């Protein structure tokens, strides 16, 4: 038996090895290198020097870092549930046998297929003070004679970004959940109906529990993506007004541009740690590992 | 190992070998970016150079966005890559690049080949191209902030000329805006760069230094929190919120292109912008064609007009494996003939002073006569290797003050505090 397992291992090795190498070279090594880098004074115009945790101590006292952290966490907390709710609703609708369903599914995916920098540009035009669509609508509907400076206040800029992000990524959630819905055998529903379960009961006791692993995947993907939000912010607000929408990745990026690779790495490591912690919590809470087994 | 796995390994090896890049070691790599029209001119210039010198040049096309261009240089330079050999740099990167030892000193080669430093604008060369006494870059094109104004509207409302003081600007802009708003509710008196980005620093420096303030009022790092700077920031904020001659979108959207577009659409009386806007305002079909004038920026009473130095410089990588060939390219780019072509074809303001009196250039760009005056008194932003860290912090606080989220004094104090920390971090080494 042991011999057989060993032989299977050696035979499967060539097939697993490329992937293991891939993960090691392109994920593990960069992450570790970043971690090591964050412990150095690594500034392009200064002699490199060991610092230990000094960069992290500095982060704790850096108001710009706290501002970015606050924005990033709030952004994830607000945008992810919103995207999940919209995505779930879309998935439920698209799962019904509607006319032109295949066509509808394709259309819904369009926002997701557009690169974030491009859709960011589009939203920037929508929010434009002078000739943006948002202000044109407000004028048409007679809500306000004066145009609104959407990106001019902290909450305004925040929700403008949340809206843009939700528009772009809710379809992604919808498609993942749709796949989950399709995987639930139809006879379970028929059986439940025979047993007298109503629509709400079928939804609560069948759809939601059976969809949980897929929900957790969607939640995980979206949360990690929301935490490292960069392109939308870079394009739409550039971090303004007054740094109110600086995301952690945008904040770290500025350090790399300025040649301070050590400190920038420290920001990245913090972001990575938050994302990792969140992933672990999700996987535990979703009892995902058990479902997989 | 089964036969399948053996085949699989062979396939992998083959894929690996196919992925290896083949490079021509003799070729010179020149990183240059810009708008499509600019890249076209660069291509043709490089062709000329190759024909003339017999040196092969590979053009590394960069985007227009200056952050992305810097990123595309910082990465290979930090990794000590031999390519790119020659590249263009925004003036504010020079200190960082030079202090990082990424730039090859040019002094000796200049002396050897008899290149006269006097052909370049003295403040440009002395203040930004020289690092620890040695020239490490040379100006390809020079920029400075200017005031654009609508000649036709000033005449129509009885003003004899563009404003010399900020007070005059507010008065003229207020009056004309009131009149113009009757037909165009979107008309603004004065548009300028106020969004959270580098352009805000340039505008702030111009306003502040025109009243005795500025970014380098202190010694060592920055001296931000002084009465002149508070007054300047309060003034900029008043332009939006009190005088209401600058639109509320000033601090959210207004970057170079948004500002230019507003003025060119005919929706503004005054515009603060770089010289690049001139040929665009003057192009056929532009609503402000032949109605536009340029002047030095206004100042506060007792102060004088200040223009922030911008522009692009050429340098050679210290990691380059083809330094002599690189130098030949740099010399070619700075030749009178090449610079003249850039001036005529792209409307670029040459780094060489001797072209501002050239009859052919003046016939095409009459405003060069005025530019030369402005360019003799350019004020650089702080020349520090960690400038971009300072800039990011100062932008954030200035922008918060413009948005009304912080009082000018409070914003400047907070900026100063963070700037001091940054200076302490990078200077104690």
What average pLDDT does this structure show over A220-244?
91
pLDDT for the residue numbered B229: 95
Interface membership of A148 toward B (CB under 8 Å): no
Tokens of A265: 């790495």
Question: Is the distance from CB of B225 to CB of B409 less than 8 angstroms?
Answer: yes
User: Which of A240, A246, A247, A249 to mutate against chain B (most B CBs within 10 Å)?
Assistant: A240
Closest CA to B120 of B379, B332, B307, B372: B372
Q: Which residues pair with B346 in a beta bridge?
A: none
**Of A22, A46, A148, which to mutate for an interface test with B (greatest number of B Cβ within 10 Å)?**
A46
Selection from A284, A233, A230 nearest residue A252 by Cα: A230
Query: Taking 80 as the threshold, does the pLDDT of residue A37 lie above it?
Result: yes
Min distance B314 CA to chain A CA atoms (Å): 19
Nearest-angstrom CA–CA distance, A72 and A278:
14
- Could you tell me how many residues make up chain A? 293
B2 touches chain A (CB under 8 A): yes
Nearest to B2 among A11, A149, A240 (CB): A11
pLDDT (0 to 100) of residue B249? 93
Q: What is the pLDDT of residue A101?
A: 84
Q: Does A30 touch chain B (CB under 8 A)?
A: no
What value does the mean pLDDT of chain A take?
A: 90
CA distance linking residue B147 with residue B371, whole number of Å: 11
Other beta carbons within 10 angstroms of residue B182's beta carbon come to: 8
Give Cβ neighbours of residue A210 (< 8 Å, ≥ 6 apart).
Answer: A180, A184, A188
Tell which B residues from 167 to 206 touch A, by Cβ distance under 8 Å: 186, 195-197
Note which residues in 260-279 of chain B have CB less than 8 A from chain A.
Answer: 262, 267
Inter-axis angle of helices A208-227 and A261-285, nearest 10? 170
What per-residue confidence (pLDDT) applies to B19?
46
Tell me what pLDDT residue B164 has.
95
Chain A CB contacts of B89 below 8 Å: none
Length of chain B: 429
Could you give the CA distance from residue A28 to residue A151 in angstroms, rounded to a whole number?
Answer: 38
Looking at residue B274, what is its pLDDT? 93
For A14, the closest of B9, B392, B400 (CB atoms) is B9
User: Is residue B70 within 8 angstroms of chain A, CB to CB?
Assistant: yes
CA dihedral A44, A50, A52, A57 (to 10 degrees): -40
Tens digits of residue pLDDT in A265-284: 999 999 999 999 999 988 88
In Å, the largest CA–CA distance within chain A is 81
Q: What local confidence, expressed as pLDDT, does residue A1 receive?
A: 53
Query: Do A239 and B396 make contact, defined as CB atoms within 8 angstroms?
Result: yes
| Mean pLDDT value of segment A177-199 | 87
pLDDT at A293 over 50: no
Kindly indicate the confidence band of residue A207, based on its pLDDT and cuts at 50, 70 and 90: confident
State the Cα–Cα distance between residues B283 and A220, nearest whole angstrom.
52
Instruction: Answer whether B233 touches A (CB < 8 Å).
Output: no
- Listed residue (A228, A267, A269) closest to A64, CA to CA: A267
The half-sphere exposure of B108 on its side-chain side, counting CA atoms within 13 A, is 4
Q: Residue A40 forms beta bridges with which residues?
A: A50
Q: Are B399 and A255 inside 8 Å of each other by CB?
A: no
B354 — phi, psi (to 5°)? -70, -10
> Going residue by residue through chain B (429 aa), what tens digit of pLDDT does each one get?
455 555 455 545 554 544 444 455 558 999 998 888 888 999 999 999 999 999 999 999 988 788 889 999 999 999 999 989 999 999 999 999 999 999 999 989 999 998 888 899 888 888 889 888 889 999 998 999 999 999 999 999 999 999 999 999 999 999 999 999 999 988 999 999 999 999 999 999 999 999 999 997 445 557 898 899 999 999 999 999 999 999 999 999 899 999 999 999 999 999 999 988 998 999 999 999 999 999 999 999 999 999 999 999 999 999 999 999 999 999 999 999 999 999 988 888 999 999 999 999 999 888 888 888 888 778 999 988 999 999 999 999 999 999 998 999 999 999 999 998 888 888 865
* pTM, two decimal places: 0.86
Cβ–Cβ < 8 Å for B292, B281: yes
**pLDDT for res B128:** 86
Of B221, B204, B211, B246, which Cα lies nearest the Cα of B399? Answer: B204
Contacts 24+ apart (CB under 8 A), A286-290: A286/A212, A286/A213, A286/A215, A286/A216, A286/A219, A288/A213, A288/A216, A288/A217
Nearest to B249 among A10, A130, A254 (CB): A130
If pLDDT is split at 50, 70 and 90, which confidence band does A290 have?
low
Distance CA A140, CA A57 (A): 53
Query: Residue B3: is it exposed, middle or buried by C-beta count within 10 angstroms (0-12/13-18/19+)?
Result: exposed
Which residue of B252, B385, B392, B412 is the best one to mutate when testing the A interface, meaning the one whose CB has the most A CBs within 10 A? B252
Nearest to A151 among B5, B101, B252 (CB): B252
Closest Cβ opposite residue A11 in set B5, B388, B396: B5
Q: Hey, are the CB atoms on A154 and B399 less than 8 Å from each other?
A: no
């Amino acid at each position: 038996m042991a011999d057989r397992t060993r032989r299977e291992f050696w035979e499967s090795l060539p097939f697993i090895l490329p992937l293991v190498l891939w993960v090691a070279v392109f994920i593990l090594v960069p992450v570790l290198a970043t971690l090591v880098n964050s412990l150095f004074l690594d500034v392009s115009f200064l002699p490199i020097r060991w610092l230990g945790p000094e960069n992290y101590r500095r982060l704790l006292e850096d108001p710009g870092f706290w501002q970015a952290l606050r924005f990033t966490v709030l952004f994830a907390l607000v945008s992810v549930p919103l995207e999940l709710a919209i995505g779930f609703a879309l998935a439920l609708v698209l799962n019904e046998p509607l006319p032109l369903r295949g066509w509808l599914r394709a259309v819904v995916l369009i926002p997701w297929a557009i690169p974030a920098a491009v859709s960011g540009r589009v939203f920037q035009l929508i929010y434009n003070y002078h000739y943006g669509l948002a202000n044109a609508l407000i004028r048409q509907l007679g809500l306000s004679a004066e145009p609104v400076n959407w990106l001019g206040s902290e909450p305004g800029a925040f929700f403008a970004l949340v809206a843009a992000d939700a528009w772009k990524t809710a379809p992604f959630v919808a498609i993942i959940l749709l796949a989950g819905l399709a995987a639930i055998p139809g006879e379970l529903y028929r059986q439940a109906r025979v047993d007298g379960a109503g629509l709400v009961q079928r939804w609560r006791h069948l759809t939601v529990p059976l969809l949980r692993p897929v929900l957790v995947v969607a939640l995980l993907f979206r949360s990690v993506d929301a935490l490292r939000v960069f392109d939308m912010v870079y394009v739409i607000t550039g971090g303004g007004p007054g740094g109110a929408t600086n995301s952690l990745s945008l904040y770290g990026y500025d350090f790399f541009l300025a040649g301070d690779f050590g400190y920038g790495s420290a920001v990245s490591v913090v972001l990575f740690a938050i994302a990792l912690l969140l992933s672990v919590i999700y996987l535990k809470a979703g009892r995902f590992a058990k479902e997989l087994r | 190992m089964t036969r399948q796995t053996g085949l699989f390994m062979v396939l992998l090896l083959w894929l690996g070998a196919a992925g290896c890049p083949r490079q021509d070691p003799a070729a010179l790599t020149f990183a240059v970016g810009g708008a499509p029209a600019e890249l076209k001119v660069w291509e043709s210039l490089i062709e000329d150079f190759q024909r003339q010198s017999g040196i092969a040049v590979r053009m590394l096309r960069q985007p227009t966005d200056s952050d992305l261009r810097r990123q595309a240089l910082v990465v290979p330079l930090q990794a000590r890559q031999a390519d790119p050999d020659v590249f263009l740099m925004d003036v504010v990167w020079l200190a960082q690049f030079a202090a990082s030892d990424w730039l090859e000193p040019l002094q000796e080669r200049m002396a050897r080949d008899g290149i006269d430093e006097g052909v370049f604008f003295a403040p440009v060369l002395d203040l930004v191209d020289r690092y620890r006494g040695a020239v490490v870059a040379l100006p390809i094109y020079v920029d400075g902030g200017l005031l654009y104004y609508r000649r036709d509207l000033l005449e129509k409302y009885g003003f004899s000329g563009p404003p010399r003081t900020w007070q005059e600007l507010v008065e003229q802009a207020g009056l004309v805006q009131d009149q113009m708003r009757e037909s165009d509710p979107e008309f603004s008196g004065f548009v300028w760069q106020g969004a959270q980005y580098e352009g805000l620093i340039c505008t702030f420096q111009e306003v502040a230094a025109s009243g005795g303030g500025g970014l380098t009022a202190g010694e060592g790092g920055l001296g931000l929190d002084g009465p002149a700077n508070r007054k300047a920031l309060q003034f900029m904020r008043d332009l939006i919120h009190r005088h209401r001659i600058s639109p509320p979108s000033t601090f959210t959207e207004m970057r170079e292109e948004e500002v230019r577009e507003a003025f060119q659409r005919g929706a503004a009386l005054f515009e603060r912008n770089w010289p690049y806007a001139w040929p665009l305002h003057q192009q056929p079909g532009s609503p402000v064609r032949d109605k536009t004038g340029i002047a030095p920026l206004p100042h506060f009473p007792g102060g004088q007009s200040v223009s922030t130095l911008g522009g692009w410089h050429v340098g050679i990588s210290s990691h380059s494996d083809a330094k002599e060939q690189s130098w030949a390219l740099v010399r070619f780019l700075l030749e009178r003939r090449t610079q003249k072509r850039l001036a005529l074809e792209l409307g670029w303001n040459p780094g060489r002073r001797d072209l501002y009196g050239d009859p052919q250039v003046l016939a095409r760009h009459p405003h060069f006569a005025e530019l030369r005056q402005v360019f003799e008194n350019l004020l650089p932003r702080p020349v520090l290797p960690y400038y971009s860290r300072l800039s990011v912090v100062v932008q954030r606080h200035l922008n918060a003050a413009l948005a009304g989220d912080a009082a000018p004094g409070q914003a400047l104090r907070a900026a100063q505090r963070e700037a001091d920390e940054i200076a302490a971090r990078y200077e104690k080494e």
